[in-house]
Each structure stands twice: as C-alpha cells, then as structure tokens.
Amino acid sequence: MKKEQLEELLSQLTTDEKLGMIHGNELFATKGVERLGIPPFITSDGPRGVRKDFNPDNWNEIGQSYDYVSYLPCNTALTATWNRELAHQTGQVLGKEARGRGKDMILAPGINIKRSPLCGRNFEYLSEDPVLTAEMAVALIKGIQQNDVAACVKHFVANNQETNRLHVDTKVNERTLQEIYYPAFRQSVQRADVYSVMGAYNRLNGTYCCENNLLLKEVLRDQWGFEGIVISDWGAVHNTVDAGQAALDIEMSVFDNFDEYCLAEPLKQRILDESVDMACLDAKVRNILRVMFKLKMIGKEAVHRKNGSYNTMAHRQVLKKAAEKSVILLKNDSKLLPLGNTCL
C-alpha cells in the first residue's frame, strides 16, 4: 500500500462516509462505503475462540451452524506453558478461525496485568508478570496476524479490577506504568506490529483511557510508533469533543442507537461548529484505511486475502497440546510447604 493510494481514497470520502467508518453501525461492525469498495470492519471476541454471531442490533444469538468453532484454552492456561512456539501456534489457530468466520479483527489477546484475584476477566489475561505477558503476547499476535486478520491487544491500560470497572479512576505513578503496565503493550506494538489496540473502560489518573491523549497519542503513537487502529471497549467513550480530539479511531458500544454514539452524529455537529477539527476525523479514517490495506480488505490485493478455516482436526490437535502443556505439577522439595500425607 502506497501513501498516495491511501490519501487518494481518503480524499474521495464525504464527511458522512468518514463518520460511518469510525463508529459501530452494528454491535460488532462499522459501516462500509460500497461505492468506493470499502467494506464494513467486522470484529469479534475473543481470546477463547471466535464468538457466536449476534443480530446486528441486539444481543440475541443468530444460531448458525458456523458458530461451532474451536474452543481455546484460556490465556492464563496458555501462559502457564511458558512456551512461545505453542503460543504462536495457538495464535495461528485463532487467526485462521477468525478469517474462516469472516472476521477482520479478533479482540484478543487480553494482556492486562493481573493485580486483583477478584478481577472478573482474569481468565482472559496472560499473567501477573510483565515480561512473561509480553513474550507470550508477541507470539500470539504474530500467529494471529499471519492470517490477514488484525489482533487487538486489550485493555489499554490498567483495567485490573471488577468493582466499578467501567468508571474507576486508576491512580498509577510513572515508574509503575513503565515497569508494570506498559511493557506488554509496548512489545506488542514494537515487536509484533499489532494492528489494533483497545482502549480500557477506566480512567487513568483522572482521564478516561479512550479519551486520553497522553496515553493514546504521546505514549502509544508518538513514543512507541503505533500506526494501527485504536478501538474503544464497548461503551467506554463518554464525551464527543474529548473522544473526537483524542487518538481514538473507532467507538463501539453495547446499544443499538448507533447514530447517537459520541463519534457519530454528535461528532458531525462538533465538526460543523468547529469544536473538533476535520483533521482529527481524517486522522482516524487514515489509520483505519492503513490497516484495511494491510489486511488486503481493499485494493487490488483483496483477491489474495486468506480465507481461513475453523474447527478442523489440525486446530483441535494444537489446542489439545496447549491444554495438556498448561497443567503444572509442583514438587514439594525439601518440604517447603507444610503438607503431610493426610493432604494427599
């Protein structure tokens, strides 16, 4: 993809068409631009396998036979293998199955650092250790993205508790961010070239993560060189002007009032009254188009995009091996643990 091609395509889009690309038009998809050959961007959960399809505007399952995909070991189990190659193979399975189901982005892996045992999504996350998390995440992402589907590391950043997880203000000093919370995300960007990052629900030091330009622009884009899509967690955007000006590209939510999302009709009004510059909208669309070209979704390369497959015997064998290798047996050498025969 040449920059000239991207800019030419961007120049042909109307304001309404651009807006349709940056927010949900269905619960798991944005709006395409048919006249220019730009398809909708279709996403799906998640770390444990491609999620069942829902109706476009409600959470009732469609119930198709293609819903029966492979079921992956949870990320915690996979990380317990300490096996990068197995993580890579598992990523390949997830990427192939996402493409086999017609998805453009799989909302995985979950790489939040485990800090509280009460976090309801710990099973989706890799580890409490930033180095181990980074190593396994890089392998997973590379495996996923070999299949012309975007991985999406989540949730950026410090979304580690269940209580008030949609609005909690996580207070974190700079050293802790750099040593604990950032490394896995940074490595995902710089070593794995991840195509998407999901912004978290919570506030970070007073500002919602999906509206936080210190986090999304200065750190993620300027310092780390991220050129992919920043997508919100579902319902994590709260303010049109803040989100419009922030380095957030796609807003998703759990409700069907798609035109009322912050980055939908309300953003159009803020652009018209010049509260938000048109350049902010163009930057969002530019990032989306860049990833679409990488995924062979548009342009001449689209005919060469991989089709994927799901629930094959080969996939099951890889996942069975991953599950088997995740089982850890501990030896009580030197009787470090006070366990007697009565405990056996």
Helix 278-294 with 265-272: angle, nearest 10 deg: 130
Residue 141 main-chain phi, psi, to 5 deg: -60, -45
Tell me which residue of 43, 40, 34, 41 sits closest to 14, measured CA to CA: 34
Helices (H) and strands (E) in the chain, counts: 12, 10
Instruction: List the structure tokens of 8.
Output: 């030419």
The active-site residue out of 45, 53, 148, 233 is 233
Structure tokens at 286: 């530019």
Three-state DSSP class for residue 183: helix
233 is a catalytic site residue: yes
Closest by Cα among 276, 272, 209, 268 to 237 = 209
CA distance 228 to 115: 28
Contact 277, 303 (CB under 8 A): no
| Tokens encoding 301 | 């390369």
The half-sphere exposure of 170 on its side-chain side, counting CA atoms within 13 A, is 25
> Could you give the CA distance from residue 240 to residue 264 in angstroms, rounded to a whole number?
9
Cβ atoms of residues 33 and 277 within 8 Å: no
Q: How far apart are CA 32 and CA 44, in angstroms?
A: 17
Q: State CA 150 to chain mean position distance.
A: 8
**Active-site residue list:** 233
